[in-house]
Structure 1
Amino acid sequence: MTDWPIFDRTSKTFPLYSRANVGEIFPDPISPLNASTGFQANLEPGWRDAFVACGVWDHDLYDASVERNVLPAFGSYLYINMSLMRLFGVRVPGMGAEAVDLQYFGDMPGIPSYESEKRDFDDDPAYSEKAGAWLMNEVLLAKDLAAYDADRRTVLDIRSQRPDVATLSDAALAERITSFNDVLRGLFQRHIESSLKSGVGLGAISQIAAAVGRPELALTLVAGIGDVDSAGPSHGMWTLSRLARTGPVAELFDGGVEGLDARLRSSGDPRVAEFVAGLDAFLGEWDFRGPAEWELRALTWSLRPELALHTVDRMRGVSDEESPQIKNAERVRQREEATATVRELLAGDAEAGGQFEAALHAAALWLRGRERSRTTAAMLIHELRLPALELGRRGAEAGHLDAAKQIFMLFAEELPAYLADPGSFTATVRERERVYLEMFDLEPPFVVVGDPPPTSEWVRRSGRTHTAAVAGETIQGVSGCTGVTRGRARVLLDPNDPSALEPDEILVAPITDPSWTPLFVAASAVVVDVGAPFSHAAIVSRELGIPCVVSATEATGRIPNGALIEVDGTAATVTVIEV
């Protein structure tokens, strides 16, 4: 695969594609190296394996005329095949295409209905029977996350044996970049399986809550579940923020975050040294975390500590009473209260009560599993990133590359030729990077039916205008976490610079991955342009105890920065009070 930018062939059998969900983790174009080793090269086969493992079909269902059935790239932007996801819903008993649309993709007005694309072979009793067995045995009756814990041990072992990349030969660096494909494929298979399972669990909880006449309790029943990996950095940063509120550490923070890491490390004050030790422990555990962390080219917290320090700085102004632990405890109380309510409503119906208990357990288990598998894969992606950057650093030092990050403009199959004659790729990677950076200003179509339009027809982000919402106007979204709050809107388009967010403001973001979620500690609510009930924004909001509305279409463009807004996470509305 050396065509650039990447335009994968589309399937005529499964023609509906969406940016929903995948846009959370890949808001930007995928780099050539990451497409050919690392993410796309391993998630596509892992996703196929996951569908087959769920019993909904066998490998012969896939369209042999296309290379990427599940996760193609158009203009190097990744898409999910929504037709296949809908077919999964059709074949799993009790789900359906509409449930898949809501649980996995959120609200997408104007998309073609499932009936308009339905195929003659979609309804298949034999596969539905297999999927029903999977639903019962692998989803509802599952006891633990043993396979996911084993994956974590495998990756932690790889990380513990990480060599000093500076001492490796160029050939050894290239080998390490491409040496974890088998492990990644398995990690991604289990990530997709847990994603499918968590959607099933959430759907079952929603159906039960609606059946007893309390649909508003659905998300409360899966709030404050604990042991959610993507919430971990929030707790670590909170601890650091308490150390940075007073004394010499606070004085250094008050001087601004730019260059703060160096100032902290050059200080001889023992209290600053204590903070630095805590920071190093945090970065050692979460070195792989950062914006778009599944992209090899992305900067992570260990590579640019200021990204983490910015968020710690925002947390410094949050009072102790707003700690993640206190907010989580309140969500736990609400969950337990909602659970008791549903149990009371189901009293006397043993079968329905048993179904509720199984669904309640499964929903929490697989939400944890999804975040665990996602985090484990991000850990391993970082083990590819580090040798690639070292190889790029050497290329830049020798004058073959303009900068170390140009190494990501190579496809994996080009690495041997690059090692043999790096200078022969100078013009190629320079031109690819030029096109790659230009793609950032293009807004890919959110939904593609059939063939995508050429990039010449895509909207430029820099030239796009929005009609601002006026006082009294309401944006309808999808509930991510219940609760109601009012506050000033802080519209942030990039997690790289969270410095504008003040404590108790409402964070309005285009899309969020785990690197955004520590900001939720400082925010009083979260509004996201796109997303679904099991997106990262929703899951972490439920853990940290703040209202959240996802799929609030074009909220970042329509809500004026600084406007007073009300977020009703239960009704899934965002109302502009004053501008």
Structure 2
Amino acid sequence: MRFFLDGSTGAGADPHERQRRAAARRAEATAAVRARLDPLRRAVFDRLLAAAQAAAPVREDALADVGLGWPLIRRMLRELGRRLVAAGAIGAAEDVHWLRAAELRELVRAWDAGGRSLPDHGAAVADRRALWRGRRRVAPPQMLPHSTWLRMFDSMMPAPSSTQAGPVLRGVPASAGSVTGPARVVAGPADFARFVPGDVLVATITTPAWTPLFARAAAVVTDIGGPLSHGSIVAREYGIPAVLGTGVATRRIADGERVHVDGGAGTVTLLDEPAGVVDAAPGGTGRAAASVASVAAGLAAAAAAAAVVGAVVGAVAWWRRR
């Protein structure tokens, strides 16, 4: 909304027009599906569709409501950090975020008891920062805990191999459409100011705090995610292409590099990659094979999600009938 009201940039589309187009597409898709169903299946479809449309907003509303308290908590922690700096416990107010809960409670108790010279936690903060920087370079596992018996579900997870090579990256086709543009690798809110209209948003993962960028993005590409994750849902709402769960996007795509995103096929082509590089990723050597592999991955992920939802619904129904 802010981008739209700031008419000087032309960065934001009219939200009312976007909603009108989305509603028209929804009505068209609904009519097409209902026309192919017999009366019994049509009745079941109508009931499930109504339930989905009523329940889907709850997820985004819940996440937004949880986030309402963050600004107040951050202000409180910044003030606490400022006092800990004055007492010599940490080097900068922002370092308060690297303290463990037990350490913070101990320091607060000492402060409340009148102590104004507290133990120095600077070395611990520095070690944790270094560990965090190292872990950021590691591809996260598909699920936790990463036990042996859970590995049988790896084939159902959306992200492909984390060692993709070649100019074509494969992921989950999350929102249809294709676009070519410059990639903007965004690590977090500190990078939001670098994002300009027409950039392809490349990130590890997105959360509701990233939603304003979708109004300016030409497409979305992430390391982590599937058909039901935040980036997929918002990209479809905004009508922009999205490929999620590549596993390697933030490591393989350079900031400013031109990329072609095909949200229907689930592929991201690195246009500045040397032409002689051979795509060594498993699952095929050409675009058609990439399409089949990506679609299959998307269907497998959707089937897994549907199975989980079905199990939860069944458990709730059984519990209510007890």
TM range (shorter): 0.5 to 0.7
Following the alignment from structure 2 to structure 1, what is the Cα–Cα distance between the partners of residues 190 and 209? 9
Is 1:238 aligned with 2:4? Answer: yes
Following the alignment from structure 1 to structure 2, what is the Cα–Cα distance between the partners of residues 361 and 328? 18
The alpha-carbon deviation at position 421 of structure 1 amounts to: 5.3
Normalised to the residue count of structure 1, the TM-score between the two structures is 0.39
1:433 to 1:386, Cα distance in 2 relative to 1, 3 A: same
> 2:119: which partner in 1?
426
The alpha-carbon deviation at position 568 of structure 1 amounts to: 2.1
CA contact (8 A) 1:468 1:560 kept: no
The alpha-carbon deviation at position 342 of structure 1 amounts to: 0.7
1:574 paired residue among 259, 262, 268: 268
> Which secondary structure state, in structure 2, belongs to the residue aligned with residue 546 of structure 1?
coil
> 1:403: which partner in 2?
92
2:146 paired residue among 438, 446, 449: 449
> 1:146: which partner in 2?
none
> 1:125: which partner in 2?
none
1:469 to 1:419, Cα distance in 2 relative to 1, 3 A: farther
What does residue range 46-445 of structure 1 map to in structure 2 within 5 Å? 235-239=1-5, 241-242=6-7, 245=8, 316-318=9-11, 322-346=13-37, 349-408=38-97, 409-411=99-101, 413-414=105-106, 415-420=108-113, 422-423=115-116, 425-427=118-120, 429-443=121-135
Following the alignment from structure 1 to structure 2, what is the Cα–Cα distance between the partners of residues 533 and 434? 38
Following the alignment from structure 1 to structure 2, what is the Cα–Cα distance between the partners of residues 445 and 492? 16
Following the alignment from structure 2 to structure 1, what is the Cα–Cα distance between the partners of residues 85 and 272? 52
> Which secondary structure state, in structure 2, belongs to the residue aligned with residue 377 of structure 1?
helix
CA contact (8 A) 1:400 1:422 kept: no
The alpha-carbon deviation at position 374 of structure 1 amounts to: 1.0
> Which secondary structure state, in structure 1, belongs to the residue aligned with residue 201 of structure 2?
strand
> 1:494: which partner in 2?
188
CA contact (8 A) 2:222 2:244 kept: yes
Following the alignment from structure 2 to structure 1, what is the Cα–Cα distance between the partners of residues 254 and 83? 46
The alpha-carbon deviation at position 485 of structure 1 amounts to: 2.1
Following the alignment from structure 1 to structure 2, what is the Cα–Cα distance between the partners of residues 399 and 563? 44
Following the alignment from structure 2 to structure 1, what is the Cα–Cα distance between the partners of residues 77 and 53? 37
1:476 paired residue among 147, 156, 170: 170
Is 1:514 aligned with 2:208? Answer: yes
Deviations, residues 284-320 of structure 1 (Å, cap 9, x unaligned) = xxxxxxxxxxxxxxxxxxxxxxxxxxxxxxxx253x6
CA contact (8 A) 2:164 2:248 kept: no
Following the alignment from structure 1 to structure 2, what is the Cα–Cα distance between the partners of residues 368 and 395? 41
Which runs of no fewer than 5 residues in structure 2 stay unpaired? Answer: 149-162, 274-322
Following the alignment from structure 1 to structure 2, what is the Cα–Cα distance between the partners of residues 357 and 422? 66
Following the alignment from structure 1 to structure 2, what is the Cα–Cα distance between the partners of residues 384 and 578? 43
1:405 to 1:492, Cα distance in 2 relative to 1, 3 A: closer
CA contact (8 A) 2:89 2:122 kept: no
1:354 to 1:236, Cα distance in 2 relative to 1, 3 A: farther
> Which secondary structure state, in structure 2, belongs to the residue aligned with residue 441 of structure 1?
helix
The alpha-carbon deviation at position 468 of structure 1 amounts to: 6.7
1:361 to 1:519, Cα distance in 2 relative to 1, 3 A: same
Following the alignment from structure 2 to structure 1, what is the Cα–Cα distance between the partners of residues 210 and 187? 11
The letter for the 1-side match of 2:96 is I
Following the alignment from structure 1 to structure 2, what is the Cα–Cα distance between the partners of residues 426 and 329? 59
> Which secondary structure state, in structure 2, belongs to the residue aligned with residue 496 of structure 1?
helix
The alpha-carbon deviation at position 482 of structure 1 amounts to: 2.0
CA contact (8 A) 1:483 1:546 kept: yes
> Which secondary structure state, in structure 1, belongs to the residue aligned with residue 264 of structure 2?
coil
The alpha-carbon deviation at position 577 of structure 1 amounts to: 4.2
Following the alignment from structure 1 to structure 2, what is the Cα–Cα distance between the partners of residues 515 and 237? 15
Identity of aligned residues (%): 33
> 1:107: which partner in 2?
none
What does residue range 33-52 of structure 1 map to in structure 2 within 5 Å? none
What does residue range 3-42 of structure 1 map to in structure 2 within 5 Å? none
The answer to which structure, 1 or 2, has the higher relative contact order (CA under 8 A, 6+ apart) is: 1
Following the alignment from structure 1 to structure 2, what is the Cα–Cα distance between the partners of residues 512 and 335? 24
1:449 to 1:559, Cα distance in 2 relative to 1, 3 A: same
> Which secondary structure state, in structure 2, belongs to the residue aligned with residue 530 of structure 1?
coil
The alpha-carbon deviation at position 406 of structure 1 amounts to: 3.5
Deviations, residues 433-459 of structure 1 (Å, cap 9, x unaligned) = 1122112212256225349xxxxxxxx
Following the alignment from structure 2 to structure 1, what is the Cα–Cα distance between the partners of residues 186 and 70? 26
Following the alignment from structure 1 to structure 2, what is the Cα–Cα distance between the partners of residues 323 and 487? 22
Normalised to the residue count of structure 2, the TM-score between the two structures is 0.67
1:439 to 1:367, Cα distance in 2 relative to 1, 3 A: farther
The alpha-carbon deviation at position 330 of structure 1 amounts to: 2.3
CA contact (8 A) 1:468 1:559 kept: no
CA contact (8 A) 2:218 2:240 kept: yes
1:337 to 1:439, Cα distance in 2 relative to 1, 3 A: same
The letter for the 2-side match of 1:394 is R
For the aligned residues, what is the CA RMSD? Answer: 2.9
CA contact (8 A) 1:367 1:534 kept: no
> 1:546: which partner in 2?
240
> 2:251: which partner in 1?
557
